[in-house]
Structures are given as C-alpha cells and as structure tokens.
Structure 1
Amino acid sequence: MSSHGGRRRSRGGHEEEHVNHERWLVSYSDMITVLMALFIVLFAISQVDQEKYIALRDSLAAGFMDTTTSPSVLDGTDGTLDGKSTQSENTPADGTAGMVSADDGLGQQAAVPPVPATPTTDASVDPATLAAAQAEAAHLTELRDRIAQALAANGLDQAVRMRIDERGLVLGLVADDVFFAPARAELTDTARRVLDVASPLIVGIGENVSVEGHANVIPVSGRYPTNWELSADRATQVLRHLVEVDGMPGPRIMAVGFGDTRPLVAGDSPEALAANRRVDLVILSAAPEQVRALLPSLTGG
C-alpha cells in the first residue's frame, strides 16, 4: 500500500519546467523592426518635394517680408536643389559689372561707381596677403625710385635697367662695354661709379642681395674655358667691390653665374649680345612666397 501511495505522490508532484532556448528571437525581431522603421524614416526625409520646398520658402519669405523696406533675406534664388548657379543670368558682362545701387531719395535706384579694383588678376586673394603685397610693392617701388634719382643725379640713369619681379627689385647692369669688356670680368670705371652711387641705398636696407652674372652666346677663349666661368667671375667682381669698397655686409650677399642660360633677349643679334652680357643685382624680398607672387601684377613688372 505504501508503494501505491508513493506512486500517487509521484504523479501529483510538479514537473521540472522546460528551458526555452529561443527567447532571443523575440529581442532580435524587435531590433530588426526598429531598424526597418529607422531606415524608412531616413528614406522618407531624404526625398524632398521641390515644389513643396519652394512653396515653403515663399511662404516664409512672405511672412518675414516688410513691404516698406527692402526684400527679405529669405528672398533669393531657388537654392541648391534646382542645380542652378546663384549668380544672376543678367549680370552685365561689360564694365558695369560690380556697380552698386543706391536709393536717390525719390524711389529711384542710382548707379554708384564701384571702388577701383586692385591691379591683380586673382579675385580670390586673401585680403591680408594682398595688403602685405601692396606694402612690399610700395617699399620696392620707393627704393627703385630713390636709386633712379641718385643715378640720374650723377648722369648714370641710362646705365641700369630696373624692374620688380616675384623675387624683388632687379638692377640690371647691362655690360654693353659699360660694365665689362667682351670676354672680360674686370669692372670699368663706369661700373664702379654705378655701384658706389647705388650701394648706400642697398646697404642701408635689410634685404639680402644676389649678384647674378650672365654671358651671351658667343664662346669665350683664353683664361675662361666656358661662359660659366666668365659669368661667375663677373658676379664675383661686383660682389667684391660691394663688400670691400662699399661696405656691404658679407652675410647679406652672394654671387652666382648662369652662363648664357638665361638671356634677356633671344638670338645672336647685336642687341641680344649686348643685353645678355650683364650682371643683375637682385634685392631679394623677404616677404613670403604668396606675397611675392603678387608683386609683378602690382608694379607692372
């Protein structure tokens, strides 16, 4: 009997619960549903109805518009969605471009001439860079004019050709039997006078100076194997006179010879032969490269 009772108690007891190993599918399906809803929302907001957008823009512009004053800042082009440029199609292409309108007090728009543009071809130049270039151009122009005046006062104004390029102020000592005899590097009396007149102004500034010797295409003979040695010796003679006689600090000056590789005038005409037999004194601008690049356009070269 006891055994039957034991069996009955066994049938009436609680059975062990079965463990559900697939409950994670519920959380996973919830996450997938949320992601799908997110992507649907993102897709929906990325599709802009252009007509509705323009209508919204116009309604906002009308709401902010004050009919007694100028048009609202919301009034403008159709925006970037229409694929058109923001520049007006009827912008004048002649010299009237850039004219500014002003009210003359009678409800009429009068044309106001624009401020003259700075003589540079790049309209995207940084204002700070442009201002620095203008200051450097004014400095070099003043120095050029002072040297020209000093040379003119001594009757030497025709002996030097000056220009301003992206490196600085270039004093071209054209050696048409004025500074050097053909195939020779010794300074003439005229060359010494020019250097003595210009040197106080060159020494008095802080810029470095590059003395660059050049030669024409006529082959040399004698003491110089090639035009390289001739042009380098001419530059060295000018450097030595500036340092030893005129007091130019040695650390501020250097000499280099270019032979006949950088002619001013191409060819072998008498004019070319005379113009290319020269020494250039280059007063090197200390301005940054982006500033120096604007100098020729600001000074006319």
Structure 2
Amino acid sequence: MSLRRQRKGGHAGGHEGPDERWMASYMDMVTVLMCLFIVLYAMSTVDKDKFEKLRLALATGFGTTHSKTVDTATGVVVAPQNVGKNGVDLTAFNEAQQEVDKLQQLEKHISANLRRAGLRSAVDFTIDSRGLTVKLVGSSTFFDGNSANLRDTARRVLNAIGPVIRGLPNTVSVEGHADQRGSPAPFPTDWELSSARATTVLRYLVEQRGLSPSHIVASAYGSAHPLPTTSHGIDHALNRRVDIVVLSTQSEDVRKLIPAILAGAKAQDLPITAIQQ
C-alpha cells in the first residue's frame, strides 16, 4: 500500500520534498554581505598621516586635546603665493566700505533737510575714522558773543539735524570749542564757555528733538583744538564752534581703514592685516 495520501478525488497531492523558497532570500542576504565586506576592505587602506591630522583636529575642535599641529589662526586665508604681497583683510575692508556708505548717506540726508530750510551753507561736514562730524560754525550765526544761548538760526539748524539722527543706534558726541583769543568773560575760561555751548546743544537735541539721553554725550575742548590756519590767517569765528559727531559703531580695525577708502584706496593697495577676534 502506498503511504502517499490521496487528495480528494483520487489524485495524488502534497509536496515531494522540503520547501526551498527561503534559499532565494538567503542568497540575497549573502550577496549584500559580500558587497559590504568588499567596501570595508576597500576602505581599510588608510593614509596614516591624514588620519592622524583628522584625529587631532577633531579632538582639538571638541576641546579635549590641544595640538600644535592644528591651525587656529583667524582672519582671511592668504594663498602661499600671495604671502608678503599688498592687500588688506577683506572682511575689515568690506565692513569699512559699508560704513563709509552709511555715513555718506547720513550726510546726504542731513544736507537735504538743511537745504530745504535754506541753511546748507551754515554747516560743514567731515567723515573720518571717528564717524560723521557736523560742524555748527561761527558764534555770529549760532551764539551771541561769549554766550552759550542758542540763536534762532541755531535752533533751525538743530531742528533739521535732529530728526535724522534721532533713531540711530550710534552715540552722538556734542563737542564745544572756543577761539584762542582768551577773552571768554563772563565765563572764567574757554573751558566753561565751550562746555556751556556743548551742554546747551545737547539739551536742545534731547528736550526739543527727542534724542535718547543714553545715546548722547557732551564734551568741552576749550581752545585746545583750533582748526588749521588758512591763507588769510586764523579765522576766530570758525573756532567758536560746536561739533555734532555721529560716532561710528565699528571696531577700531575697521574704522582705521575709513580715511584710506575715502581717499580712493583699494584693498590691494593697503598692507595685509589680520583681525584677531
């Protein structure tokens, strides 16, 4: 008698042997493992020098190991062929160029306000490493003789300047000056006279034009900083002045490049410097 079981209906059925479909999946897995081992073998040849540099760099970067072989310099990377050649730190130069543009736009804005008020000729401008200086020139225009009381023209000038500088993040320095003739009466000396003029301008800008007290300061220079002598001699009226200086917010490394940029210098014309943070 046959041991093979008969299907219903008298036909033979069932599987003649064990199910071998699992072999396909197994072979796929073995193939993948073989590829993995080939890749690992290909990667097993390591440049020891490069690996050591990478190890030290990673260790130093995570603050676990200090290594003398890791370059920790800051600033602009200079190609070996350019070492020793002229050029300036490009980051500092670009920031200085942007600062010059901002100061020049500020000057144009103030000039436009003064021109509309018919007062443009009463004010001089200077841009340097400190920032933008607005010069209120001449006691006959802004102050009575040996006086710190603002005249009407001075108020009109400050009314044109105030709205432009009111919202700036820059510190505004109000600096009083006096001429060198040494006759400041009723003030004891030129120091008191120049200080009173600077304080008067500061108070007007704060109290009447809304400048923040935390962004404005007053200084007195007496007659210690006279303007250069002209071909016609000393102009005492020009030294009876108050300067309103919108101070630059940039670092010293950036500000010291401003005069060169104003003179038309390019980055390659300046000596190489590196800004250390």
Contact kept, 8 Å, 1:213 with 1:279, in 2: the verdict is yes
Q: Which of 143, 153, 165 is the aligned partner of 1:202? A: 165
Ranked by relative contact order (alpha carbons within 8 Å, sequence separation 6 or more), the top structure is: 2
Q: Is 1:228 equivalent to 2:196 in the alignment?
A: no
Contact kept, 8 Å, 1:265 with 1:272, in 2: the verdict is no
Q: Is 1:254 equivalent to 2:205 in the alignment?
A: no
Gaps of 5+ in 1: 1-85, 88-121
Give 3-state SS (helix, strand or coil) of 1:187's partner.
coil
Q: Is 1:188 equivalent to 2:151 in the alignment?
A: yes
Contact kept, 8 Å, 2:174 with 2:201, in 1: the verdict is yes
Q: Which of 265, 278, 281 is the aligned partner of 2:241? A: 278
Q: Deviations over 1:266-286 (max 9, x none)?
A: 38x675201111000000000
Task: Give RMSD over aligned pairs.
Answer: 2.3
Following superposition, the deviation at residue 215 of structure 1 comes to 0.4
**TM-score under structure 1 normalisation?**
0.57
Q: Deviations over 1:39-87 (max 9, x none)?
A: xxxxxxxxxxxxxxxxxxxxxxxxxxxxxxxxxxxxxxxxxxxxxxx99
Q: Is 1:287 equivalent to 2:258 in the alignment?
A: no
Following superposition, the deviation at residue 235 of structure 1 comes to 0.2
Give 3-state SS (helix, strand or coil) of 1:280's partner.
strand
Q: Deviations over 1:225-271 (max 9, x none)?
A: 1101000000000000000100000010000100000011338x675
Q: Which of 107, 127, 140 is the aligned partner of 1:164? A: 127
1:100 counterpart residue number: none
Q: Distance in 1 between matches of 2:108 and 2:263?
A: 14
1:155 counterpart residue number: 118
Cα 1:221–1:205 change in 2 (3 A) is: closer
Give 3-state SS (helix, strand or coil) of 1:275's partner.
helix
1:129 counterpart residue number: 92
Q: Is 1:217 equivalent to 2:185 in the alignment?
A: no
Gaps of 5+ in 2: 1-82, 265-277
Q: Deviations over 1:124-156 (max 9, x none)?
A: 310000000001010001000111111111101
What amino acid is the match of 2:196?
A: D
Q: Distance in 2 between matches of 1:271 and 1:243?
A: 33
Cα 1:271–1:178 change in 2 (3 A) is: farther
Following superposition, the deviation at residue 123 of structure 1 comes to 4.0
Give 3-state SS (helix, strand or coil) of 1:171's partner.
strand
What amino acid is the match of 2:126?
A: R
Cα 1:287–1:220 change in 2 (3 A) is: same
Give 3-state SS (helix, strand or coil) of 1:177's partner.
helix
What amino acid is the match of 2:165?
A: I
What amino acid is the match of 1:127?
A: L
1:141 counterpart residue number: 104
Q: Is 1:177 equivalent to 2:117 in the alignment?
A: no
**TM-score under structure 2 normalisation?**
0.62
Q: Deviations over 1:22-41 (max 9, x none)?
A: xxxxxxxxxxxxxxxxxxxx
Contact kept, 8 Å, 1:178 with 1:191, in 2: the verdict is yes
Q: Which of 228, 245, 268 is the aligned partner of 1:265? A: 228
1:97-116, aligned counterparts within 5 Å? none
Q: Distance in 2 between matches of 1:192 and 1:143?
A: 20
What amino acid is the match of 1:272?
A: D
What amino acid is the match of 2:243?
A: D
Following superposition, the deviation at residue 300 of structure 1 comes to 4.3
Give 3-state SS (helix, strand or coil) of 1:137's partner.
helix
1:92 counterpart residue number: none
Identity percentage over the alignment? 43
Contact kept, 8 Å, 2:138 with 2:241, in 1: the verdict is yes
1:105 counterpart residue number: none
Q: Distance in 2 between matches of 1:257 and 1:189?
A: 23
